[in-house]
Chain A
Amino acid sequence: MIDSNAPGFWPQLFETLLKATGETLFQVAITMVITLVVGLAAGTLLVVTDRGGILERPFGSLIAGRIVNAVLQAVVNLGRSIPFIILMIALIPFTRLLLGSAFGVTAAIVPLTVAAIPFYARIVEISLREVNEGLVEAGHSLGATRWQLVSKVIVPEAVPGLIRGFTTTVVSIVNYSAIVGAIGGGGLGDVAIRYGHQRYSVIHIVTVIIVLVAIVQIVQVVGARLANRMSHR
């Protein structure tokens, strides 16, 4: 049991929280940067290789398009259907192979990224599908190449949705980053478990919750503002 009246308790709590918050933000930031790139690419591929999509026949082969699309769909579905806590444990050997260690703040980025990419890819897919078919047609009529259609028409038109989806993904990953604390992933989850759960410190639990709520709030507000700013409808 931790005594909150002990000398040096509050400064120590502050220091612990600061360090843990930094770790959580670091994990989430790196995860989200990778997710933005890979998720955007995967989500875009899901849309363009679908039937009737602009890359329905990569290299002139309809079969290639069907295969790419089916594989991507399967991977995304698989990633989305495994509960994070199981995914995290199942990935331990893979993480060790990749980084030499399966535990710690940096190692936790691996399962977080593996969970975040399919999540965001699906959101990207939904956002891009909402872009009016007529705009793609207008792009075709201007003689745009497939890459120009994606980079100048489809993705820019979907930006507000992509930002809102990204916000949702960040919130989920903040949530998951607390779970990795349970297997030595550090961060705010680690503080809550080690001090709050194992040493019965209510103050630690409460302060961790406050910090998490604050992070989520800030992400939500910034995301919503940015999305509205980019929306000219």
Chain B
Amino acid sequence: MITLSSVTKTFGAAANSVRALDDVSLNVDRGEIFGVIGQSGAGKSTLIRTVNLLERPDAGTVTVADRELTALNDRELLHARREIGMVFQQFNLLDSRTVRGNVELALEVLGVNRRERATRTNEILELVGLEHKAQQYPAQLSGGQKQRVGIARALASRPRVLLSDEATSALDPETTDSILQLLRRLNRELGLTILLITHEMDVVKSICDSAALMSGGRILEQGRLVDLLATSGSQLARGLFPLGELPEGNSTVIDVTFVGLSSERPVVAQLARTHQLDVGLIGAAMETIGGAQSGRTRLELPGRIDEHAAAINDLRAQGLVVEIVRSGR
């Protein structure tokens, strides 16, 4: 649905220029929620702004819904943008307009007549649960309500793609959760493809199907979460399951990641029994990620890693992802 291919963007003059996007390629499938995560300054914001060409890339192509936006002229681009909704961290609502007026703006831009505007606005406000706030001004709303208006405005013209620029970063945890659930629901009910950027792993964990990790203007890894979890050495997978500090000592430490069904099997007990090992459990986390029950366990085994080759092979044979965190001495 969204494809960025070799996109590059540099800001500033030659001497002190900043390469915000460095040969970035990205693919978002139809109907999925794709999260781009990274620290501030990683280039996430620039990335999402290139998707609707608020920021025009220096090189590379942007394709949304089979239309290459980078090849369009200004007028064609206006029409293309109307099929891409966007929500912002600071909501960006007009103070001078009521909730209804803010949503209607999206339809006025399209030239929709008054009656149809009213009907569609009622419909969309109901969808985001704000029909009773239609006549209020943004200043009278809470942060979460403002973002719901932002979402309603972005979706008023029935776009197939929604871009979310840190939409929950200005909200408290509870409100964040309710907005994320709303996005999830809209994704399912409307078949909406959502590309979001965030600096919070929790956002990726709770609603994304796929994710990309960004740093220094580059994408370090991307893919479906279930696949990333099954990838040895994935930084994103590690971020999804923070297991804390390593214990002191000379023992071997391994991380075992379960994806899907295998988490229901008594893996650790089996390991101890079959291989006669004193297995120590250092950390564990269970999450539903990308719709699948997944978990990661950090185990401590006595002695050196090469003493446990058979046990590790056994785990891998069961379809578990084993990463050696410390080899032991």
Chain B minimum-CB-distance residue to A60: B74
Given A132-B92, A134-B92, residue A144 in contact with residue B109 (CB < 8 A): yes
Q: Is B116 interfacial (CB 8 A cutoff)?
A: no
Chain B residues numbered 1-20 whose CB sits less than 8 Å from any CB in chain A = none
Contacting residues, chain A, for B78 (C-beta < 8 A): 143-145
- Find the residue from B79, B106, B109, B153 having the highest chain A CB count within 10 A: B109
Chain B's nearest CB lies how many Å from the CB of A140?
Answer: 6
Q: Is A5 interfacial (CB 8 A cutoff)?
A: no
Contacting residues, chain B, for A140 (C-beta < 8 A): 54, 81
> Is the contact region of chain B dominated by helix, strand, or loop, or is it mixed?
mixed
- Complex: A144 Cα to B75 Cα, angstroms: 10
In contact, B106 and A232 (Cβ under 8 angstroms) = no
In contact, B82 and A157 (Cβ under 8 angstroms) = no
- Find the residue from B88, B96, B105, B137 having the highest chain A CB count within 10 A: B96
Given A134-B88, A148-B109, residue A142 in contact with residue B94 (CB < 8 A): no
> Is the contact region of chain A dominated by helix, strand, or loop, or is it mixed?
helix
- Find the residue from A140, A142, A159 having the highest chain B CB count within 10 A: A142
Q: Is A202 interfacial (CB 8 A cutoff)?
A: no
Pick the contact of A232: B92, B96, B163 (CB < 8 A). B96
Pick the contact of B92: A135, A144, A145 (CB < 8 A). A135
Q: Is A137 interfacial (CB 8 A cutoff)?
A: yes
Chain A contact residue count (CB 8 A cutoff): 22
Chain B's nearest CB lies how many Å from the CB of A162?
Answer: 11
- Complex: A139 Cα to B82 Cα, angstroms: 10
Chain A's nearest CB lies how many Å from the CB of B150?
Answer: 8
Chain A minimum-CB-distance residue to B137: A232
- Complex: A153 Cα to B85 Cα, angstroms: 17
Contacting residues, chain B, for A134 (C-beta < 8 A): 88, 90, 92
In contact, B92 and A157 (Cβ under 8 angstroms) = no
Contacting residues, chain A, for B139 (C-beta < 8 A): 232-233
Contacting residues, chain B, for A139 (C-beta < 8 A): 105, 109
Contacting residues, chain A, for B106 (C-beta < 8 A): 142
In contact, B96 and A137 (Cβ under 8 angstroms) = no
Contacting residues, chain B, for A142 (C-beta < 8 A): 81-82, 105-106, 109, 153, 157
Chain A's nearest CB lies how many Å from the CB of B154?
Answer: 8
Q: Is A91 interfacial (CB 8 A cutoff)?
A: no
Contacting residues, chain A, for B79 (C-beta < 8 A): 143
- Complex: A144 Cα to B111 Cα, angstroms: 10
Q: Is A230 interfacial (CB 8 A cutoff)?
A: yes
Pick the contact of A152: B81, B88, B92, B105 (CB < 8 A). B105
Chain A minimum-CB-distance residue to B111: A148
Contacting residues, chain B, for A135 (C-beta < 8 A): 92, 94
Q: Interface digits, B59-85 against A, CB 8 Å rule (1 contact, 0 not)? A: 000000000000000000011111011
- Complex: A145 Cα to B109 Cα, angstroms: 8
Q: Is B95 interfacial (CB 8 A cutoff)?
A: yes
- Find the residue from B78, B95, B153, B154 having the highest chain A CB count within 10 A: B95
A-contacting residues of B (Cβ < 8 Å)?
52, 54, 78-82, 84-86, 88, 90, 92-97, 105-106, 108-110, 137-139, 153-154, 157, 163
Complex A-B, nearest 10 residue pairs according to Cβ-Cβ distance, in ascending order: A143-B82, A143-B81, A141-B86, A138-B92, A232-B137, A134-B92, A143-B78, A156-B96, A144-B109, A142-B109
A-B contact pairs, 21 of them (CB 8 A): A135-B94, A137-B54, A138-B86, A138-B88, A138-B93, A139-B109, A140-B54, A141-B54, A141-B85, A143-B80, A144-B109, A145-B78, A145-B109, A148-B108, A152-B105, A152-B109, A156-B97, A157-B94, A159-B96, A230-B96, A232-B96
6 more A-B residue pairs beyond the given contacts A139-B105, A142-B153, A142-B157, with a C-beta to C-beta distance below 8 A: A135-B92, A144-B78, A152-B109, A157-B94, A231-B95, A232-B138
